[in-house]
Chains A and B, each alone.
Chain A
């Protein structure tokens, strides 16, 4: 498969990258590791005339325990033993992304901004041409939930939920300078599902910032997929827990692979703060979260199964973090 012609731009600094992104606006894409964008370009999905490759921007490629440059390769973090020991849940999520070969090129920033996925989108041009194009590429209707207003393609990154339960922030550079947002506030939950983040024109994600609290909590990430390698998440559950004896000091649960954006379930976890994390509490929260989600039929596994597995994965994650054995919910 050959790529359609484009112009390749190789900025050497964040400032240059911002200027190019602002200049070309919707006519350009950022190229990080290329493991998501280039397959999509090969399928002729939303190809742009300009590519801004970020690999030469040295300041995006460094990482420490507090700050991960957006162009840090997942494979680099995987080999960093101090990083793995400090953030076990995040390390699990990184190790679950695709394959070691993909992780050699794939970046942290790229995984946060990975394109949403759908049966009717991730197909060749000929396949899509035969059915009729979809709202997300070349067409005007959604084939999953038939209507013309909203795209239901699924958020398929593994890192966002894992970073979300650690209260990580995202550093964003733009024409007016730097700003910082909570990682899950990067995503547009209320939009049309096609524009999947809140980045303004000319803005690029430059780093992930991990707070002190992320080094105190226990965390884990559980991924549902058909093959134990390569597959995108049919469901990804991240959880973090800080216990004071048997009582909850802090608890966060987040999911990917269910909706168009990764989400946290604070409305269900907040009431548990200060209370003991019992088997009954784990079962109840797993059930509540399961009942709140509405996956649609646009990935390989049936939505009803994915929904039921939410309860199982939440329960398993909390059992792992707390050592409490709970009953199966649902």
Chain B
């Protein structure tokens, strides 16, 4: 089987043609080759959710995804969630509610929460808690994050 160059990969509406070997992890490709450093490397083992991106709209751990297997799929990172001039409603709510402290986990939470509200515009607190249970935050204690998602859902941010 071939070892690169692989085909093109589509991220945030843009096609990237860059050779990469089969063992290249999507997270590394995004951060190191495409300079999309909004997606964070936390545990690198699937535990923390900092590396969450959407693959065909589904929140997915980019640290546990081979880039080669993402070919032909649509990838959205936090940079592609909204336009440079306007924040996504979830991002706005995180800012307004102070749901960020060190901020390292924030992109992962934003991607998970934005997908939740897209699929389920008015989730209960329990549904929010369950949806973000794969994203770890070591600073906030989660209260502000959950509040921010509720604010974004209510459209009151």
Which A residues contact B (CB, under 8 angstroms)?
1-10, 31, 34-35, 38-39, 42, 51, 53, 55, 75, 98-102, 104-105, 228-230
- Contacts A/B (CB < 8 Å), 14 sampled: A2-B25, A2-B28, A7-B22, A38-B66, A39-B45, A39-B64, A53-B66, A53-B69, A98-B46, A99-B49, A99-B133, A100-B112, A101-B49, A101-B52
A308 → B minimal CB distance (Å):
27
Known: A8-B66, A101-B61, A101-B112. A42 touches B45 (CB 8 A): yes
Q: CB within 8 A of B25: which of A3, A6, A51, A55?
A: A3
The verdict on A98 contacting B134 (CB below 8 Å), with A3-B25, A5-B23 known, is yes
Tell yes or no: B30 within 8 A of A by CB: no
CA distance A31 to B66 in the complex (A): 10
Q: Which residues of B contact A101 (CB under 8 A)?
A: 46, 49, 52, 59-61, 112, 134-135
A22 to B67, CA, bound (A): 26
Would you call A34 and B65 a contact (CB within 8 A)? yes
Q: Which 3 A-B pairs have the closest CB atoms?
A: A99-B134, A101-B134, A8-B22
Complex interface: chain B residues within 8 A of A105 (CB) = 60-61, 64-65
When chains A and B are docked, how far (Å) is the Cα of A51 from the Cα of B59?
Answer: 24
A9 touching B23 by the CB < 8 A rule? no
Number of interface residues of B (CB under 8 A): 28
Residue B68 at the chain A interface, CB threshold 8 Å: yes
With A and B bound together, what is the CA distance between A184 and B146 in angstroms? 41
Q: Contacts of B28 on A, CB cut-off 8 Å?
A: 2
**A104 to B58, Cβ gap below 8 A?**
yes
Give the chain B neighbours of A7 by CB distance below 8 A. Answer: 1, 3, 22
Is B118 among interface residues, defined by CB-CB distance under 8 A? no
Across the interface, do A100 and B47 meet the contact criterion of CB distance under 8 Å?
no
CB contact list, B28-63 vs A, under 8 A: 28, 44-47, 49, 52, 58-61
Q: Given A6-B22, A8-B66, do A102 and B46 touch, yes or no (CB 8 Å)?
A: yes
CA distance A99 to B64 in the complex (A): 13
Q: Please measure, in the bound complex, the distance between the C-alpha atom of A6 and the C-alpha atom of B140, giving whole angstroms.
A: 40
Inter-subunit contact A6/B46 (CB<8 Å): no
On B, residues with C-beta under 8 Å from A are: 1, 3, 21-23, 25, 28, 44-47, 49, 52, 58-61, 64-66, 68-69, 112, 130-131, 133-135
Whether the pair B44, A1 counts as a contact (CB closer than 8 A) is yes
Q: CA A2 – CA B44 in complex, angstroms?
A: 10
User: Shortest CB–CB separation between residue A316 and chain B, in angstroms?
Assistant: 21
- Which of A5, A8, A102 contacts B68, CB < 8 Å? A8
> Inside 8 A of B45's CB, which chain A residues have their CB?
1, 39, 42
Q: B131 contacts which chain A residues (CB < 8 A)?
A: 100
Cβ of A221 to closest chain B Cβ, rounded Å = 17
Q: Are B61 and A102 in contact (CB under 8 A)?
A: yes
- Residues of A within 8 Å of B134, CB to CB, are 98-102, 229-230
Residue of B nearest to A20 (CB): B1
Asked if B23 and A4 make an inter-chain contact with CB atoms under 8 angstroms apart, the answer reads yes
Q: How far is the CB of A64 from chain B (nearest CB, A)?
A: 22
Q: Which residues on B sit within 8 Å (CB–CB) of A8? A: 1, 22-23, 66, 68
Q: How far is the CA of A10 from the CA of B72 in the complex (A)?
A: 14
**Which residue of chain B is the closest to A50 with respect to CB atoms?**
B1
CB distance from B95 to the nearest CB of A (A): 24
Query: Given the complex, which residues of B lie within 8 Å of A51, measured CB to CB?
Result: 22
Which of chain A's residues has its CB closest to B116's CB?
A100
Q: When the two chains form the complex, which single residue of A5, A34, A100, A228 contacts B66, counting CB atoms closer than 8 Å?
A: A34
In the assembled complex, the Cα of A19 lies from the Cα of B47 at a distance in Å of 34
Task: Specify the chain A residue showing the minimal Cβ separation from B72.
Answer: A56
* A5 cross-chain contacts in B, Cβ below 8 A: 3, 21-23
Q: How far is the CA of A9 from the CA of B47 in the complex (A)?
A: 27
On chain B, the residues within 8 Å of A4 by CB distance are 23
In the bound complex, how far is the Cα of B98 from the Cα of A46, in angstroms? 44
Q: Which chain B residues lie closer than 8 Å to A75 at the CB level?
A: 58
A3 to B58, CA, bound (A): 24
